[in-house]
Each structure stands twice: as C-alpha cells, then as structure tokens.
Structure 1
Amino acid sequence: MTANTNLQAAALALAASAILSLIDNFVASIAEEAGLWQFQIFRTLFALPLLVLLGRTVRVSVAPKHWGRLALRSAFVSAGLLLYFASLGTLPVAQAGAGLFSAPIWVLLLSFMVFGARIGGLRVLAVIGGFAGALMVLRPDAAALSVMAVLPLAAGALYGFGMLLTREFCAHESPVALAFGVFATIGLFSLGLVCVTALAPGETFLTRPWAPVTFRFLWLTLFQAAGAVIAVTLIAQAYRIGRPANVAVYEYSFLVFAAFWGLALWGTATDVISWIGIGIIIVSGLVVARLPDVPMNQAARIRS
C-alpha cells in the first residue's frame, strides 16, 4: 500500500464525514414528521435507485462478487448504525455519539483478535487519545449512565467490525455494491421493526408508528438519502483501499465538521474544551497516519 493510497483513503473519509455531519443536522427535523423506522424505509427507497444510477454513471455494477461476504459485512454495519439510531431514542446524543466513536478502538482490538495484526503500543495510544478527545467534545453525563448505554457501545463494536470486514473480506467489491448492501439491509431491518411499532406504538422517535407522509418529510428524507449515498460510498471506498485503523481515526473529523455546520446553520458556537478535544483528535489521526502498515497473520486472512 502506497503513501498516495493512504492519502486518498484519508481524503475520502474526510469528505464522507463532512457530508454526514451536514445531513445529520436535519434528522431532528425528520423526527418531527415520522418515526425512525418509517424514515429508514423511505431513505432506503430513495437510496437504492440513486445507487443504481450512480453505478451506471461510473460503469460499476451494484451486484456483489461474493454474496455471502457482502451479506455478512452489511449485517454488521447495518446493525451498528441501527443500534446507534435506536440509542438516540432513549439516550442523549452525547452518550450515543461517544459509544459510536469507540469504533476505532474496536477496529484495533478485532484486528489483533481476529486477523492477528500486530498493532503496536504507539498506535494504541494514538487511537485511545482520539477517543479521549471525542469524549472531551461529546462530554457524556456519567451520572446518567444506565443499562441502555450498552447500545451505543455495541453500535461502535458492530460498526467497527463491519468496517474491518470491508477490507479483509470485501476488498474486491465495488464501493457502490458495498453501499447498496448496507442500505438494503437497513431497509429490511426497518420493515420488520415498523411492524413492531404498529403492534406496540409509542411517542418517541424510536417507537412512533407509521405516520401520514408529508411533503416536508419526503424532501428532507430525499436530501438525507442522497447525502448518505454519497458518504457511504466514499467511506466504503476508503476502507477498501486504506488501513482500517487509519481510516477509522479520520472518521473522528466528523466532530470538526459538526462544529462547523452547527455554527454555520444554527449559530451554535463550540467552546474551548471542545476545541481542545478536536485538536487531540486531529493529532491522533496524524500520528496513526504516519505509522507503518499493520502486518497481518497471513494464515488468518481470507482471500478471494
């Protein structure tokens, strides 16, 4: 893997984080119109045709080369993302976000446990530093922690493992096919869960049953879906060509862009402690980026 490839992967991850941090600002507006699972179903209905169109435009098929491996990867990534969204229905965003940003640590641990990678002490310290910086930005309330706090941590673990599988199992899949698999899986999960909310309805974003479809809901969901299609495709390509631990740390840039969009869109300023945390995240990412590739146990790797 060349330095140029690592630079490309970093740029893709940064671009994806910038897009996701923008479109996530509008999820609260979507929640005023419908529940989480209805939103995910419509987002999937919008996203899949967009992915097919994107594939035809760049002359890349959405059909996977290895159905089983893509299904496995899609299941882990989708489950992680859905657990993250589910946690937003019961926990403050800070706690849910802190759990999801544990993904890089899970990438390192699972790289060692599953694929026999030699991770090294400096890389461990750099990623833990990035996680500490994320906590400084998010500042979850320790006094309010409950059993539900396991949800975002589980989301981080599942998402991290899914991203690790992207390179180890799905390196020869196109980023469009990888994105298609995630959206299709999320749609299927959400279809089942919207049936559950019909039987046991509630008032929260997580438990709200099917609501009348408004024009505002449709265009907000289409906007979110279009941005997500682009971002998920970019991040899938980043994990295909880059080192998982490296790319995962660059995803921390989501916090930098979130601070920017919060100020630009809503006039919400970022305080000094948060900027210190963002600085730690950036330094951690630069340290990891300059470290050599992680050697894998060749016997543990599955090649196509």
Structure 2
Amino acid sequence: MLNELTPNDTFCDYYQQWVAMYKEGAVRDVTLSKYRLTCAWLQRLIPLLTLAELNRITYQKLLNEYAVSHERQTTMDFHHQLKGAVLDAVDEGLVERDPTRKAIIKGKSPRAKKQKYLNQFELHRLLNDLDLGPEVSWDWLILLIAKTGLRFSEAIALTPDDFEFSRQVVSVNKTWDYKTGTGFVPTKNRSSVRKVQLDWQLVIQFSELTKRFPHDEPIFVEGKVYNSTANSVLERHCKRAGVPVISVHGLRHTHASLLLFAGVSIASVAKRLGHASMNTTQKTYLHIIQELENQDVDLVMRSISSLI
C-alpha cells in the first residue's frame, strides 16, 4: 500500500499503486487505460528510479526520453498523467521537492493532419453514394451521425424507445461499450445526456426502420461491433464519391462545422454535441471560429463604410 512505501522504493511502484488507489473505479475505463499505458512507459524508461532520486533533472530527462518518440501534445498529456502522483508523493514526504516545476515539454514535429471533416458539397456527394435500403446497415448509421453529430458509441446504443418521432427528437442517455463488449454503459459525461432534434426525413426513415426491432434493444448492434468496420465502410463511400477520406468521428466534426458555418451559435452547437462546456467546442473548432471571425470583420467593415 502507498503508506508502506519509502523514498527507496521505485517511482514505478509508487505510480502503479497510486493509480490503483485513486483512479480505479473513479474514472472511465478509457481514461484508466491511459494511466495504465503511462505505467508501462515508466517501466520502460525508468524502471529502477527511486522516489529519492526523483528531482527536476531526472524528471526532465524522463520527459525528454518520452518526447523522442511522441509529439509535443502527447508528451504534455504524459506529463499531466504523472503530475498528480508526483505532487502527492511530495505531500507524503517521499519526494523532497516538486520535480515537475518549470518542466519543459518537448516532442516530435506533428505529422501532417488528415482532413477531419467535409464541406457541405462533399457531404452531399458522400450521402448520395449511400445505399439506404429497407434494412438497418452501416450506411444508415453514417447518415444518422452526419445529420445528428452523435458519437459512434451513442449512435450504436440507440433503441426504438429512444426515438420520439412525434416530437422529432432522439434521446441520448447511454452508450454502447463496443470495446469490451459489456453492453450499455453511461454517457461520456452528464452533458452528453441530451435530446437531439431530427429533421423530418430522418423521422420518416427511422420510424419505418425501427418497427421490426424490440423496443429496448439497440438497432445497430448485431453480435460484436467494431468501430473499424464502420470506418472501412465510410472509407469506401468517400473514395467512390471522390471526397477526402474521413473517419466516422469525422462525420461528427462535419456536422458541427456545417452548423457553425451556417451561423448556429457555439452554445447551441455545444449542447447538440453533448460537450461539457462551450470551451470544449471552442477549442475543437477554433480554426472554424477564427475563419468565421474573419468573415465577421469583413461584414462589419462593409456595414460601417455604408454609413455615409
């Protein structure tokens, strides 16, 4: 246990026990897996470094070695994963001073980023290539996410009960754990529980599609579900339509981007996407917001120049 450790024990042992004590059962599985990955990197980079030897120099050396094979943002995330444990070790007297103070974050040059979203013309071409038959398919999932901005795990968790066709909304109140296959699990955060408005075409289409399904069973889940399968189907459609290849999550970005370009407020977009705060939306779509601000400047100047 943590209270039995001494400065002569390794930081690896301390961190592993710290994760077990403070993170297991307190964070989502996907977040816990990141902490465990950090444990693995510590075992690889500093397996024998003791708590007594942990200082600004040895900590900076750890970050530098990690940064050799990772981009700067990933190194920053690694640093943040470690910092809480390190500060607790300082409070407990196992480390003399805060070694994370003034840490310098380095990293490899970022790779060329793939296009994450489509413009309106490209989205039309993609959707026109879908085969929307009478049975539920990945193509129907692609259409649904493109028109609602749902996360993949939210979309595949939808049951007929979640659709309120008379009100033209779908309720998002759970997700489907497609990674470990445990079935329904809670949403990413409380803000993710929401009602998303549907257009009348989706209402007609999905009221017909969902008729044959049990009211409380997911309509897109049949056996094991893989995100990679949906991405492969989407990739084929992108190539056939002659548009940039994006991921299923890229459909969510596409949806948000089109709303912002259409003049929908950041607050409304954040609510529709289920973001915990508008800050998340602003950070994710900063490039689009900046482009819109430039358009606003041009509009303001044209308006002012006409006041003569």
Greater Rg over alpha carbons, structure: 2
Per the normalisation by structure 1, the TM-score is: 0.31
Q: Which has the higher contact order (CA 8 A, sep 6+)?
A: 1
Normalized per residue, which structure has more strand?
A: 2
Per the normalisation by structure 2, the TM-score is: 0.31
